[in-house]
Amino acid sequence: MKFEAITIKDIAKALGLSTSTVSRALRDSYEISAETRKLVLEYAEKLNYRPNPIAQSLKEKRSRSIGIVVCEIANNFFSQVINGIESVAYNKGYYVIISQSHESFEREVANTQYLASRSVDGLLVSLSTETTDLSHFNKLHDKGLPIVFFDRITEEMATHKVIANNFNGAYQATEHLIRSGFRRIAHLTISSHLSITKERLAGYKAALADHHIPFDESLVKYCRYGGLIEGETDAAIESLLKLTQRPDAIVTASDKLSTGCLAALARKNVRVPQDMGIVGFTNSPVTDIFHPALTCIRQPAFEMGQVAMEMLIQLIESKHPVEKFETRVLNTELTVRASSTRP
């Protein structure tokens, strides 16, 4: 049986009033008497009446909805970002529609086109690992759709962006391992073209240079899908262990790579931290119960979501074209645990 929502016409017919009277009563108009307003509101509440969002959006020329494009909701980092987005959105009267690219460019394009067809008021986007062509975003942006990028951003579009201090986070992770006595430190990361990859690789290199440790390209391994594909992390770890001078520590650059690295080393009977130290970028809430507990760089994911949403609302509700844009950089935090503590 098809669900039929209660309409203003239904309320008007039941109460013997005109639809315009009911509409004004629901909007708390001064033109309606207190007695009529009370009658309408009580009846509407009894029938669980809710305004038609499509009709409202046509009238206001806004859908009050926001599209979110991320690679994977199951990723702890992105789920926390979404929580931050929602905390601001709902307080401001907006709703969110979440889509996952699963690191696929084709899915990202399809999701973006679908969200645009639903007349969202704006987009919050973290690029997929396959994305190098931004024409699908540029076309929408050129037509006036507000877009804010977060985490994985692009410099090709002039708009607001929110990122973590990826350079400093990777620098801290690498320097911590050096100060813990590790010297041959590998870096396990994702697609080379992504902004977060470039920033974290730069931080890793800078820490090595500041401590007079030569950079070795063979110690950097790229997992294009960030461990999302089965066997990807294992293959990278195996190639590191086959080196003539294999590493004694690893800095991992993403959530799944961090947890996947621990599991891959365990399968290879490599002891952490006795044989291999690890520091990972991860927002997993259970890193302290891993075996061993994982030293990690934690990103301010919830705050990132809040800031991105506030920036998007500013673009949506601005009465004048916004010409000055900001890239907000949020600090990361190093938490030291057993995985990087050499006996």
Tally the residues of the chain.
Answer: 343
Q: Say what the pLDDT of residue 58 is.
A: 44
What percent of the chain clears pLDDT 90, i.e. is strictly above it?
72
The domain ranges of the chain are 8-51, 61-163+301-330, 166-299+334-340
Report the run of H or E that residue 280 belongs to, with start and end: strand 277-281
Distance CA(276)–CA(270), nearest Å, equals: 7
- The per-residue pLDDT for range 98-148, each reduced to its tens digit, is 999 999 999 999 999 999 998 899 999 999 999 999 999 999 999 999 999
> What is the pTM (predicted TM-score) of this model?
0.83
Residue 125 per-residue DSSP state? E
- The residue-averaged pLDDT of 37-54 equals 72
- The residue-averaged pLDDT of 159-187 equals 98
As given in the structure block, the two tokens for residue 26 are 């629901």
- The sheet carrying 295-298 orders its strands as 220-222, 185-189, 249-252, 277-281, 295-298, 333-335
Q: Which of 10-14, 22-26, 229-233 is predicted with the least confidence, judged by mean pLDDT?
A: 22-26
Three-state secondary structure string covering 31-43: CCCHHHHHHHHHH
* pLDDT at residue 1 tops 80: no
Contact 83, 306 (CB under 8 A): no
Mean of the per-residue pLDDT values of the chain: 91
- 284-290 CB contacts, 8 Å cutoff, 24+ apart: 284/76, 284/255, 284/258, 284/259, 285/76, 287/335, 287/337, 288/337, 290/259, 290/262, 290/339
- Reading phi first (left if > 0) and then psi (alpha if -120 to 50, else beta), residue 28 is in left
Q: Say what the pLDDT of residue 50 is.
A: 65
Distance CA(159)–CA(322), nearest Å, equals: 9
Q: 235 vs 62, which has greater pLDDT?
A: 235
Q: Say what the pLDDT of residue 332 is.
A: 97
- The residue-averaged pLDDT of 50-58 equals 53
Q: DSSP 3-state assignment of 97?
A: strand
Q: 32 vs 260, which has greater pLDDT?
A: 260
Residue found under tokens 């440790």:
213
Q: DSSP 3-state assignment of 13?
A: helix
Contact 208, 175 (CB under 8 A): no
pLDDT band of residue 31 (cuts 50, 70, 90) is: confident
pLDDT band of residue 62 (cuts 50, 70, 90) is: low
Residue 50 per-residue DSSP state? -
* pLDDT at residue 2 tops 50: no
CATH of the domain spanning 8-51 = 1.10.260.40
Residue found under tokens 């509700």:
317
Q: 228 vs 310, which has greater pLDDT?
A: 310
pLDDT band of residue 233 (cuts 50, 70, 90) is: very high
* pLDDT at residue 158 tops 60: yes
pLDDT band of residue 223 (cuts 50, 70, 90) is: very high
- The per-residue pLDDT for range 203-216, each reduced to its tens digit, is 999 999 999 999 99
What percent of the chain clears pLDDT 70, i.e. is strictly above it?
94
The residues near 70 (Cβ < 8 Å, ≥ 6 apart) are 78, 81, 82, 98, 99, 100, 101, 126
Q: Say what the pLDDT of residue 323 is.
A: 87
- The per-residue pLDDT for range 188-208, each reduced to its tens digit, is 999 999 999 999 999 999 999
Distance CA(41)–CA(287), nearest Å, equals: 51
Q: Which of 22-26, 64-68, 158-162, 202-206 is predicted with the least confidence, judged by mean pLDDT?
A: 22-26
- The residue-averaged pLDDT of 318-322 equals 87
Closest CA relative to residue 22, chosen from 1, 2, 44: 44
Contact 124, 98 (CB under 8 A): no
Closest CA relative to residue 126, chosen from 80, 187, 60: 80
- The per-residue pLDDT for range 244-274, each reduced to its tens digit, is 999 999 999 998 899 899 999 999 999 999 9
* The listed CATH number (3.50.50.60, 1.10.357.10, 3.40.50.2300, 2.60.120.260) that belongs to domain 166-299+334-340: 3.40.50.2300
Q: DSSP 3-state assignment of 262?
A: helix
* pLDDT at residue 60 tops 60: no
Q: Do domains 61-163+301-330 and 166-299+334-340 have the same CATH topology?
A: yes
pLDDT band of residue 17 (cuts 50, 70, 90) is: confident
Q: Say what the pLDDT of residue 52 is.
A: 57
Q: CB burial class (10 A; 0-12, 13-18, 19+) of residue 48?
A: exposed
As given in the structure block, the two tokens for residue 167 are 């350079």
Report the run of H or E that residue 333 belongs to, with start and end: strand 333-335
CATH class of segment(s) 61-163+301-330: alpha beta
Residue 69 per-residue DSSP state? E
